[in-house]
Amino acid sequence: MIVVENVLSPEVLSEATKALAELRWEDGRKTAGATARRVKQNQQADLTSRTGTKVRDMLLDTVKRHPVVEAYARPLKFAPPLISRTGAGDTYGLHIDNPVMGKGDARLRTDLSFTLFLSPPEAYEGGELEIETVFRTESVKLPAGSMVIYPSTELHRVAPVISGERYVFVSWIQSAIRDAAQRAILFDIANLKVGLARAFPAGSAELLTLAKTEANLIRMWADA
């Protein structure tokens, strides 16, 4: 699991916030899988409108371009994102995300789930994203514009919102590196590259060997 801070610039965040007011909202159960439907009680934006499509593409492009998202998740495919609104009294009970989403070319395996927070934490009480890991339950409530990426293999819920409104942008990633342990090794190497680039000159044998190791591990492990 990783928190990526300030994924959205203040300009993109303010444009997204403005768009939220223009979106049409429908029952969140429409997009839930069979088991999640029972516990899902929120609203979801209709993203087929002009404003909806625009804000969806703007947010997804920003997420896709982020270097930490790329290094951590190694995305191969993204599921169609959702923008959801959880108001006072609403919640999304404990569930597991669908393992496979979409049809045909859009079909993907969900390796990672993410939530990009669009509301500042002061805008609502409750509404933490709670992820049940083996050792503990992680409770996540982030500043607007920051996101959490977590393994889709974990049960999770959105705690009831007590007051205010919680807006988030949510999607799923099929990673080119299916195995989480292999993904973690590649993330370490990506971070090491950044650190060592400060200590060694560009084109040095050390940096070239590290680049070679990274490239060859990706060649060994990547789906495509």
Q: Is 5 exposed, middle or buried (0-12, 13-18, 19+ CB in 10 A)?
A: exposed
Angle at CA of residue 220, ends 214 and 221, nearest 5°: 90
Among 108, 170, 176, 186, binds ligand AKG (CB under 6 A): 170
Tell the smallest beta-carbon distance from residue 134 to ligand AKG (Å): 19
Tell the smallest beta-carbon distance from residue 38 to Fe ion (Å): 13
Q: Which does 129 bind (CB under 5 to 8 A by kind): ligand AKG, Fe ion, none?
A: ligand AKG
Residue 185's closest CA among 209, 213, 147, 223?
A: 213
Among 43, 84, 110, 174, binds ligand AKG (CB under 6 A): 84
Tell the smallest beta-carbon distance from residue 92 to ligand AKG (Å): 6
Beta bridge partners of 84: 44, 168
* C-alpha span between 224 and 216 (Å, rounded): 13
Which of 90, 97 has the CB closer to Fe ion?
A: 97
* C-alpha span between 93 and 79 (Å, rounded): 21
Length reported for the chain = 224
156 touches ligand AKG (CB under 6 A): yes
Q: Is residue 156 a known part of a binding site?
A: yes
For residue 18, how far is the Cα from the chain centroid? 21
Which of 115, 174 has the CB closer to ligand AKG?
A: 115
Binding mask 107-136 for ligand AKG (x = CB under 6 A): --------x-------------x-------
Tell the smallest beta-carbon distance from residue 75 to Fe ion (Å): 18
Collapsing DSSP to helix, strand or coil, 146 comes out as coil
Residue 86's closest CA among 43, 38, 27?
A: 43
Residues of this chain that interact with Fe ion (CB under 5 A) are 97
Q: Which residues are annotated as a binding site for Fe cation?
A: 95, 97, 156
Residues of this chain that interact with ligand AKG (CB under 6 A) are 84, 92, 97, 115, 129, 156, 158, 168, 170
